[in-house]
Structure 1
Amino acid sequence: MKQNDSTQEKALKVKRFVSYLLPAIIFALALWTLDKQMHHLRLSYVLESIAGIPLSHIGIAIGLTFLSYAVLTGYDYLAARHINQALPYKQAATTSFISKSISHTAGFNFLTGSSLRYRLYSGYGLSLSQVWEIIVFSVSTFWVGFCFIAGLLFTFYPVKLSNYTPAIPIPLNVVGILLLLLVAAYFYLSFRRRDLEVRGYKIRIPEPKIALLQLALSSGDYLIPGSIIYLLLPSNPQLTLLHVLVFFMLAQLIGLISTVPGGLVVFETAMLFMLEPYFGTVDILRPLVLFRLIYYFVPFLLGFLALIFHEFEEKKEFLKKAGKLTYSSLSEITPQVFSIVIFFGGISLLFSGALPSNPRYLHEITYMVPLPLIEASRLFGSIIGVLLLLLANGLWKRIDGAYVLSLIVLLLGGGFALLKDFDYHEAAVLFTMSVLLFPSRKHFYRKSSLLHQSFSRENIIAITLVLVSFVWLGFFSYRNVEYSNELWWQFGVNSQASSFLRAVVGVFFLLLVLGVMKMLSPFSKDIHLPGAEELELAKTIVRESKEPLGNLAFTGDKYLLFDDKKKAFLMYGVSGKSWIAMGDPVGQSDRIKELIWDFYEMSKLHQGRAVFYEISEKHIPIYLDLGLTLIKIGEEAKVPLESFTLEGSAGKDFRYAVKNVEKKGYWFEIIRPEDVIALIPELKQVSDAWLEMKTGKEKGFSVGFFDEKYLSNFPLAIVRNEEEIVAFTNIWTGAGAEEFSIDLMRYKSSAPAMDYLFVKLILWGKENGYKRFSLGMAPLSGLEKRQFAPLWHKVGSLIFANGDYIYNYKGLRAYKEKFNPIWSPKYIALPTGFKKSLALKDIAALISGMKDLF
């Protein structure tokens, strides 16, 4: 079994490595092919050619792009009609534009677009299943149009690929007929009102009217972008619009298969290769570059700004509802905005180091700056560019060290930009970045190590693509310089090719050093179950905490994560890929924020996902900073002891319960911790009887279990008569007599009503000066059941109202309510999207003690 697990783990690691590396390899091959096609061109000539395109053509291209994205918004609006959801066009269009414009450029279309759709549609009240139906409908719309247009073009206007690829003769008319047959099959299912089942998942085929609208929209989705490229190409009588559409569809398909973000360079290389018989290289590059800019980059920026505005509004409203008025929505996105800006600053410095400098500026700089300083500025300018790419990740995660280093590096980068070739434009941008970043210190509060930060798959791919582009751009810029070993040792104002070669070595040497340091530097948080010394340290922190939940750490079944100063700790367990923290961190409040971030970072370093279970409202802004979503799981009941009394009409039921039990010869008693061990055999009989009565087994993680060492840490409240103990519970106490609670409650069938134990506990707490008594949580209590409440609230409230055969939800709430408690909400903070369901499954497995089965 262990060997199979090890084999599967190795296979997953190989698969993950290939998924990281493959897009970069395809991108590099496409760049190499593009370089071979462009080796005879000068960059200045390409730029001048682009500048020569008539403004009228550019204006028409922009208009067609607007029309194309307007057509794309119809995908989601039509999907909403298909699932019988009355969604306003404005909401559907906004969601469609944001998801399409970003996923087109960012790549990983299904993952990126689906995540954005779920994030936006869930805010409009749509359930996960409804969002999934919209996603499936949009994907099917995309392929219906592709199969129809490509089928027609390949069948009735076949282009012989043997004219372009002699080694791969493919009869496109056969492919076209197959594609048209797929469309026919789709409409057959639509007219017959039949559903399609794929790998056990049923896809509901739309009615014929909607299917025809699908076909019309998706056909326009392909015809309009292809027409933009045709419009921007020079006139050639041998090349028709139908030719260009065929080439466009083939290039788009190749770009999609490559998984390179937005098909960048892969799409351009394929188009360049197929259009080469008709035009010169510059004539092909000009429309492709403009198409990339107009159709992808500009909508991406607009979509990104729209997403930021939407998130700004959503989080601002949420924070107001949560009562956290001190947190502005701007603070939520400030680190992310600076992270993106700094990343682009790094790209600017790298590309600047790969391109030749303006000769006029070089001539002027030689009179003011000595040659060694110019050479050093060229080298360190590129190195600083790489540092900015890496620091962007730290800024995103609000690390204070990344903030300080970014300020220093931006100032140095601006200085080097002036010294290497007096590039005052670039220097002004970098200096402006540092000025804007300087007053934002409060948003970067994490005291984490930069070496220990994790990088996401998308982040690694983005950095890799930038570095590959940097190397290619340099070799392309200096392709006319004949290589020789002496180039490495040539120094001079005009020896820019030599400076570039040294910069490449410097950049990759820096990455190598940082990589080795990261591998050799162990993470500072050791992962193991706590020993006696750590439990003693936790006990010291718990004694100073006003809330008693920290006592749960003494079960010994959870890992403990301490802050650097050992003033706070967090308890957690691991189930599947989920790292699940139990409750809020315990200890000094000024250490909590960093501790939560440490736990989140540690889970990422181990390829896991961070989850926070049974948390309160106090630290909601931190969990939002982590990018987690919150779902309410119930409410905790806390009895204010000052107002509790047995006197008067309000206390008559409690008076009767106490007198009735004590008449039968039972009494209440508090056992000191040091006297618990002597009672263990008798207590075990009570516990075993309770487990047998409940036909269950001991649970863990979120509750205590019967264990001699665990129980000996606390005072016990027992109910007994002359012959035996019939009930007991251990008492958790908080510092300063603020609050106390109970955990493990066990009783025999012969025990009197449990009201007696609770009433006597409350009276004991009141006599000892405690202010509150926690009765624990009522699961699924307090969930909204309004029309536009989230899906979780609707399902939870339904189970709460009708799920008595599963668990006595209403009865538990009603029982605790008679003690007149104050109710406070409890949440789970967990990842968004499809990882949410996986995290919930892991929590259930961990609590039930079945984590090893998953």
Structure 2
Amino acid sequence: MVKLVDWFKARLNKFKTIFLISVIIIVIFELSNIAKTISFDQLSTIFSQISIWNILLMALIGLVSVTPMIGYDFTLNNILEQKPKKRYIFETSWLVNTLNNIAGFGGFVSAGLRSEFYGKQSSGKKVVQALSKILVFTMSGLSIYALISFFLVMFDDHNQYLRQYWIWLIGGGLYFPIVFCLSLFGKGEYLGDLESTHRLELIGTSFLEWTGVLVSFISTGLLMGIHVSLRDVVPLFIAATVIGIASMIPGELGSFDLMMIIGLSALGTPRETVVAWLLLFRLFYYLIPFAIGLVLFFKNLGTTINTRYKGIPVGLLKELAHKLEGFLLYFTGIMLVLSATIPEAFIRLPFLQRLNPIHSRVIVVFPAILLGFLLIVTGRGISARVKRAYVPTILIVTLTFLYSLLAGFRVSTGFFLALLLLFVIFSKNELYREQLVYSAEWMTIDGFIMGGLTILYIIIGVYNSPNIHHRHRLPEFFLFPSERIWGVGFIAILIVAFIILLMIRFLKNKRIQIGEAVDEKRVQHILESYGGNPDSQLVFLKDKKVFYYNNGEEDTVFFQLSTFNNKILIMGDPSGKTSDFEAATESLINEVDRYNYLPVFYENSEDMVMILHEFGYDFIKFGERAHVHLPDFTLSGKKMKGQRASFNKVLKEGYQFDVIKPPFSADTMSELRAISDEWLSGRKEKGFSLGFFSEDYLQRAPIAVIKNQAQEIVAFANFMPTYTNNIGTIDLMRHSPEKAPGGTMDFLFINLFQYMRDEMGIEYFDLGMAPLANVGTSRKSFTQERIAYLVYNFGSRFYSFGGLKEYKDKYANEWLPEYVLYSRDSWIGYVMIALLITDNAPVQGEKKYRGFRRFIFRD
């Protein structure tokens, strides 16, 4: 015996698998049997004869009638002294009981499933004992009703026909007294030791369960308009159920139906009506609750799988469901507007009839256009995951449901809109963004859709006007009912345009910007403690905002950023503690995402590409950064012949190189400004990725100057601290076109190379980036890189990219690739336009630029 037990234990998992497969086969078999008894044409005919409210009430009563059975599993867990979450008990119990209704096999299926769901924390013997108590009492409620029915039949002369079932009624009625006495006076472990409270709970649950069955069946008949006596129906129903259970047929399928058809027909109800009655009862008490049970089953199964695979499956499903929800809102809105624009087409063309989810017999132009466009707008809000879109979307879908109801309701339309409403309701947790920032990408899509629909409506109205003669006739389905109705629709479009603006304004909420103003102490702390990069010093120009990352103890990383429409343009690599870059980047992305912006990372190194690739960002090569290896730098050799000649020429003319250190006097700053203004020659200063003349900024680091024999400064370049030990660079490099001789820039660079190598011990000199160097020129380049090249090169056609690359190539020993990284929700063309405008925006004209941007994008 011990060996047999060990053998079973060793193969327990296999037996569980076999059991679950068996249950699935049984369920499929029983459902196929039920399906054979159901005619969808017959259901359609029945539904057409019953009001929609009565059908909904039948469904509601059926669901409520199933609910009492959940009490069995609460009592089971009390007997097992377990306290799982109530929600878990509710979901699993609903599945077990509705499955048992379909394919019970005398409780075998429910016992096996209950053991699987609730028996993992208790011993096998204890679980079997508890299950035996539950299964024995499940029929006590039916037995009580059998006793009541027996007395009704035997001591009431109302209906002699029902007396033939007295033997079944008394047989079923004796079940409860026997079980009750055994549980009360018996001494066995499987029934006798049941506590009084548990006994009462099981009896009460069973009585409510069978009351629910009776209520569901009788109310279905009453809502169908069938008038029968409860004194006749209750005994017949109980007798048929007892016979069905005795036959051990799952769901009493066949024997129960046959008895009810014969019995009710004998009591005066037409056979066809009885068949319809049984059909609806099975649909609302058995099939729909079971379908909900299956949903709960897959939800729990999904939770298990989701936990095993670290949340990825559910994440994918939520993403797919969210995209489907947005698509359905857009699709429904477009169909509504089209049905008001070309109503004849939806009557004459079969494919449009099948495609249209809103099957209305009467199209009312104004509400159709209004609701259609509003569904598109709310679809945008839902797709953008904006919190404020939740309530308006529910309201508009509900109004669409009412519109379809008044315009000629169909079951398919109701089902579709109910499904859409459920999608919206259950998507609440997916809506986490605080505001809608209408991107250029979204404007393009929505403008194409809504603008296209509006233009189509106007064109059809013009072609339908009797005052205009046409050479070509339109197809008949483009004909409009009347000019007056078209005019009402056109006025509706004008009103809707205003309502749409109000809706978008509501979704936008109060605009919240990302980043903070530069706090010099915080920035300086990060740079001095953890270092920076060649772009870090640009932060002190204060033309950009800063996003600080705090590791819980102190600020360790900062990003420089600027906002354009819905894009947060992040300049260069982050500055600060390298080991915190990934966490800081994730923090920035989450913050930006919360407020419905999309980050664009500009001029980033390969290290940042690897970090951002993990967050799902696409990237293109945007250019190359030139480095000069200073220990190897020399003017000798054939390659440097031209630079050597320029250097010696300027040197012979008496020009001198010097490095002056801050603080600088007012006279020096005035002299430098004069050179800068002369160099600009009326052009506006540019910011973002470039430095501009700012006295406060220039006071922060040494400045390299070229002086003539009269000790006048004719050219200068400010040092740019990189907060590293091995890289040096400069920012502004300007000269006087009148006073500085040809070759001054070469003279300045060569002296800088030597000074940083010899005086500062710097290993590399950073010459800066050459935009679009070796980008998009190959036939096999990424399409995005080709687009970037075209957009940026066209937009900056007065700026010689090729010349810049050629000039820096005279000195550079190596070229390091630089990248632009962007979200996959962004279109590369719009990304490049945003960078182009931001990078070339004049600093002095910032207010004017921002005003223009507000006019276009409505920040």
TM-score, normalised with respect to structure 2 = 0.44
Greater CA radius of gyration, 1 or 2? 2
**Structure with more contact order per residue of length (Cα contacts < 8 Å, sep ≥ 6):** 1
